[in-house]
Structure formats: structure tokens, C-alpha cells
Structure 1
Amino acid sequence: MDPSARLLVVDDDVSIRAMLREYLQAHGYQVAEADNGVQMRERIEHDTPDAVLLDVRLPGEDGLLLARYLRERYDLGIIMVTASGDVVDRVVGLELGADDYIAKPFDPRELLARLKSVLRRLQARPADAPAQQQQHEQQQRQPIAVRRQGFGRCEVDLEGRRLFEAGGREVTLTAMEFDLLRAFLANPNRVLSRDQLLLQTRKREWEPFDRSIDIRIGRLRRKVEPDPAAEPRVIRTVRNAGYMYVPLDSAL
């Protein structure tokens, strides 16, 4: 992506905003600022940025709520800025659709590297647009029953990004959980490492002590396993390797 990409820094600490503005502008980026959710919305409505650097701890609406708002409405990069010990905030932020996170206090050079990585991934997306559009049109022509695929005790509506129990009741599904389901459906009976799962769902590599995938797998199992209290049959743990999706017809 062009180094003149537009950025929005959302942080209630004026010194951090000033530091980031000066540093990022020195590297060729256009930088706007906001100190709360209201200002963030005003800035975005006036000029939608390519990426947002979003502090978690904000007055009023916190960064997690704002991350959900952004992901539901805009196709832009989101980097969450968290306190160093807030592992839960990092996990929740990623689950809500953030592309990456960085902990305070941070080295501006690390932030710049993460920002460039997120922007490169965003730049690469349009190359797949024709194929995605063709797939979407094909799915639209298919009857609903064909668009649904079994997964454990549930059915996945790939077009609608929804999950249903056998009786038809819809099961709440986060964006990250759907991406995991789609990755597993595309690779039945194949071991997927944490690296592969993160690359396929969040376009980033797994880092040591990163438990975000394990936490999401645990939540997903409670929704799709035939007996959530028993040993997993559908999403199996492969020790020191990763996870494997085993369709029920081959799980016996």
C-alpha cells in the first residue's frame, strides 16, 4: 500500500497522539486524531482512513466496542493498543475483528512494522475480488439447502455466515468462529497448526504464549460437538501439532 496511506489515531492521551502523529507523518503517512468514540465517528464520516490505531482504554465507549463498530461498517485495518498485561483485551479485540495489537509501552518502530504488515494485507485483498464475486454469484444461484454444510451437530450457512442447530435454532457465531469453521470445512481430516489457523482467519502468524486460537476453539467446540462435555470428536486436538476437523461420518 502507498506509504501516504491515511491513518486515524484514537487515544485520549494527547502526548501519545502527538508522538504517533509526528513519527508516522515523518514516514509519509497522513494522520488524523480523535480522543474518543464520538470524534472517531466524525473523522471517519468525513474521510475514511485506511487503518485505525485504537486504544482499548477510552472514556465512554471503550476500544473494544469501537472495534466492533468499525468492523461491522468499514473495510479498514484495525490495530488495538492495549496495556501490557491485558491478555483478555487482546483476545477479545482479535475476536471482534482487529487485525493486530500492540501493548503499551511500545517502540514506535514495532508499531510501524505491524502497521505496514496490516496495510500490505489490505492491499492484497482486491486481487481476490473477481474470484470472490464469482463464488458469491454461484452461491446465490444455489438453493439454501446446498449452501449449508454439516459441522458436528450443527449446519453452517456459508453464504449467510450463520450457524444452526439440527432443529433450526440459530447459534450465535462471531466472525472469528465462522472463519475457523470455514478453514476446517476446507481441510477435513487434516491437521492445521495454530500458525495456519491464524493465517487463514486473521492473516497473521502465531506467537509463543498466544492463546487466542485455543480459547476460540474451546468456545466453538461447545457449540458444535455432539457432546460438549465429552472428549472432542469433531474438532480434535493433535498434540504438538494443532487441530483437526473430523466430519461425524468419519469420526467413529
Structure 2
Amino acid sequence: MARIAIVEDESHLLGDLVEYLSGCGHEVEGCADGVALDAALTRGPIDILILDINLPGEGGFSIAGRLRAKSDIGIIMLTARGLNVDRVVGLEIGADVYLVKPVELRELEAQVRSLARRLKLTPQPGPAQSPAETTPPAPSTSAADWAFDQLSWTLISPEGRTVKLTGNERVFIALLVSRPGEPVSRDEIFRALGKRGWDPADRSVDSMVRRLRAKGAEAVGQPLPIESVHGIGYAFAAAVGPA
């Protein structure tokens, strides 16, 4: 099960969430604001963060952004702000899941379990292993192919090294690897990310690609085969095999 921090300033809702998720077997800590969350983080690592947007002091978007910049913590936005633009902003800054209040507690716990599986937090059954053998091998690929694992949100290099993806990165990579070597237009990319279409003044996709290239180069030791196609958009310039 996961170690969860919930940041919510409505005390009754916070109490209900902590009680329910604790009853499901998770280790849960409730926080009224970003200051309390930072204190919780000093006491130990958090696997999954459930985060409101409208908070006293530092807002949820700011908290999510600064944590995503330095960690792979799972982030579930749980907020009354249901506008599409808020959802897009939340996913853009690195949230893995965006839920709108009111939400069924069973649905929230299902999202927690799903995210925990993607983050590989749920122990898998198997024979006992020595400490040196506890890290599972990456899924195999052919010697020349990259692979994309939709379930774990992971891009896998031909050498078996992995790049964990955020929500928007997953959508972007899934679109590119569905047609390897073929340019995908900016308009199609923007629409897949929940926008109305390409806006030349919106540089968010270019910024995401820069971050993704940097993260990929650090994780796999080589540049990701994501190429800009002048006047069109982007292409995945490598063969893609099954994950």
C-alpha cells in the first residue's frame, strides 16, 4: 500500500478522506496547507499526494509544480475547480490524475491503487530474492526498438532503460509512437492535450518537449528520438516495438 499525504483545508472532508483511505490499508497523513505538507515530507517520503487547488497560503498548482520539479511523487488533484482549463493546467504541471469534487471515495481509492501500480508501489508476489535481486528488470525490447508501456506510463530504450512519464508526457508520447517516423501536427498534439487547437503564442508543448528530452537524456544516457519537424510539429524518429 501507499504512503499518502492529503492537503485539504476543509477539516471535515480531510478527516473523512484520511479515515477512509487509512481503512483501505494506506498510511495516510492529513495536512491543512503547504506548510504542514512540507513538515510531513521532512518526516519521511510520500508516495502519493492528494492535493486541493484552493488552499490558504501557497496554492495547489504551486505545490504540485515545485514537487514535480524535484521528484516523481504521484499527484492526484482533488478540487472543486472543474473547468477544462484548470484540468489542463493541473496535468501540464505534472499531476497524474485530476478529479473534481464531489468524488466517490471508492473512485478516489481506485485511482490511488491504479497510480500506485503505475509507480510500482504495490508489492508483486514472487519467490524470495536476495537484496541485490530486488529491482525488477525492465521489460525486454528488440535490440533496435524503443517501446512504450501504456500501463506504467514508461518509455523504454533499446537497452532496457526507462523514462517515467507525467500525464501530459504520456499523451504526447503515445501519440508520437502510434505513428513512428511520421510527423504529428501541432494542432493534433494540442487537441490530444485537451486544448482547442494550436495557438502559436502557446509554448507549453515546446517547454514540455525540452523537459522531456532533458529527463530522457539523464535517464537513458542518450537523446530521446523526438525530432522537431519544421512547419508541422514533432515525430518519433525511431522504430517502436511492443512493450
**TM-score, normalisation: structure 2:** 0.59
- Separation of aligned partners in 1, 2:77 and 2:36: 17
- Separation of aligned partners in 1, 2:38 and 2:204: 36
Q: After TM superposition, give the deviation of residue 177 of structure 1 in Å.
A: 5.9
Counterpart of 1:123 in 2: which secondary structure?
coil
CA RMSD of aligned residues (A): 4.1
- Contact kept, 8 Å, 2:183 with 2:233, in 1: the verdict is no
Tell whether 2:195 aligns with 1:215. yes
Matches within 5 A, 1:85-234: 85-123=82-120, 127=136, 176=168, 180=172, 184=176, 187-189=180-182, 213-215=193-195, 218=198, 219=202, 226-227=230-231, 233-234=232-233
Counterpart of 1:8 in 2: which secondary structure?
strand
Over 3 Å counting, the alpha-carbon distance change for 1:50 and 1:109 in structure 2 is: same
Matching residue of 1:7: 4
Matching residue of 1:242: none
- Contact kept, 8 Å, 2:2 with 2:121, in 1: the verdict is no
Counterpart of 1:73 in 2: which secondary structure?
coil
Tell whether 2:36 aligns with 1:39. yes
* 1:26-56 residue CA offsets vs partner (Å, 9 max, x unmatched): 1111110111111111101211111010001
- Contact kept, 8 Å, 1:52 with 1:76, in 2: the verdict is yes
Tell whether 2:23 aligns with 1:26. yes
User: Where is the helix percentage greater, Structure 1 or Structure 2?
Assistant: 1
* Identity value in percent: 34
- Contact kept, 8 Å, 1:91 with 1:212, in 2: the verdict is no
Unaligned runs of at least 5 residues, structure 1: 140-158, 160-173, 198-210, 228-232, 236-244, 248-252
- Contact kept, 8 Å, 1:55 with 1:80, in 2: the verdict is yes
Matching residue of 1:155: none
Q: After TM superposition, give the deviation of residue 183 of structure 1 in Å.
A: 6.1
Q: After TM superposition, give the deviation of residue 178 of structure 1 in Å.
A: 9.5
- If asked which structure has higher relative contact order (CA below 8 Å, sep 6+), I would say 2
Say how many residue pairs are matched: 180
Unaligned runs of at least 5 residues, structure 2: 123-134, 141-153, 207-227, 238-243
Tell me the amino acid that sits aligned with residue 180 of structure 1.
F
Tell me the amino acid that sits aligned with residue 82 of structure 1.
T
**TM-score, normalisation: structure 1:** 0.58
Matching residue of 2:129: none
- Separation of aligned partners in 2, 1:18 and 1:107: 15
- Separation of aligned partners in 2, 1:73 and 1:10: 19
- Separation of aligned partners in 1, 2:170 and 2:100: 27
